[in-house]
Amino acid sequence: MQQLLNGLFLGSIYALFAIGFTLVFGILDRLNLAHPAVFAAAAFVGIELVTVGGLSIWVALPLVAVFGAVLGLVIERVVFRPLKDRPDAHFAGLIGSIGLGGMFIALLLWRYGPDTRRFPVDAFPSTAFEIGGARVTLLQVAILVISVVLMAGLTWLVARSRLGRAMRAVAENPRAATVLGLDVNRVTATTFALSSALGAVAGALFAMNVNSAQLGMGSAIELKGLAVIIVGGMGSLPGALVGGLILGLAEVFAVQYVGSSWRDLVAFGLLFLLLIVRPQGLFGSRRVREV
């Protein structure tokens, strides 16, 4: 039971991180590898807001989201917009975003130094309860609730709202969307902002969950984010949620039963098998390339 819950909490953070990844991939067909840098940057900024700014965590989190959104706009404007009409936009965007992500990390190094940072101990009430014999902290519940609410909100946004409709139109056919009067650049920028805001919140929550933030925390989760969006199906929002939870549970149980050194092998073994058996992922619909 304890393991199940731990897996669930860990998985919800993976899912929140991955959902930003998959949002950009699903709508714009681009892999944004600056996303992990946003994840790390948000953790550091969140910690600074709480420790130096003296803000409550509930004020800091929305601010972190705003900070992430701004980074998303920067990523779109600096890397993806200049590259969008290139025949190799896919490779170029991928590599360009690695470059910008490296710049973000270098700036973090400048501002915060190479050391590990932590949220202050009293940043969050350390209340804990027992559920079915398992110990659960308020923090973990909060993480789960925030993640699920944000993901549900995003899913609703994409499926129902006017903005979501515009996003899906751009995903389907950017040129047709332009002809129909949509401002594709704006929709694209908004998508990046949303994606990065989610990645930022995930970063702050992750730093709270493991009680530390390091410069390399983004690259550690990057691989897992990729695994999650593949398992869930590229571009599928519910897929990212389920994929994140599966990965979180698989990791926790792998540590329990196989040993911690084999933990990542379980994840990647699953990923690899799934790609071969069902490349479109659990929830993805394979995009058939028309002849």
CB of 252 to other proteins, least distance (A): 17
Q: Which is nearer to other proteins, 179 or 291 (CB)?
A: 291
Q: Interface residues with other proteins (CB under 8 A)?
A: 25, 31, 78-79, 82-83, 86-88, 90-92, 95-96, 98-103, 105-107, 109-110, 219, 222-223, 226-227, 230, 234, 261-262, 264-265, 268-269, 271-272, 275-276, 279, 290-291
CB of 203 to other proteins, least distance (A): 19
Q: Which is nearer to other proteins, 22 or 190 (CB)?
A: 22
Cβ count near 93 (within 10 Å)? 26
Q: How large is the C-alpha radius of gyration of the chain?
A: 19
Round to whole Å and give the CA distance between 9 and 244: 10
CB of 113 to other proteins, least distance (A): 9
CB of 22 to other proteins, least distance (A): 11
Q: Which is nearer to other proteins, 140 or 191 (CB)?
A: 191
Q: What's the Cα-to-Cα distance from 55 to each of 43, 61, 68, 120, 142, rounded to whole Å?
A: 15, 10, 18, 11, 18
Q: Which is nearer to other proteins, 55 or 98 (CB)?
A: 98
Q: Which is nearer to other proteins, 61 or 169 (CB)?
A: 169
CB of 205 to other proteins, least distance (A): 23
- Those residues whose C-beta lies under 8 Å from the C-beta of residue 67, and which sit 6 or more positions away, are 41, 42, 45, 200
Q: Which is nearer to other proteins, 121 or 277 (CB)?
A: 277
Q: Which is nearer to other proteins, 153 or 279 (CB)?
A: 279
Q: Which is nearer to other proteins, 86 or 160 (CB)?
A: 86
CB of 119 to other proteins, least distance (A): 23
CB of 209 to other proteins, least distance (A): 23
CB of 163 to other proteins, least distance (A): 25
Look-up of token digits 């751009």 = 170
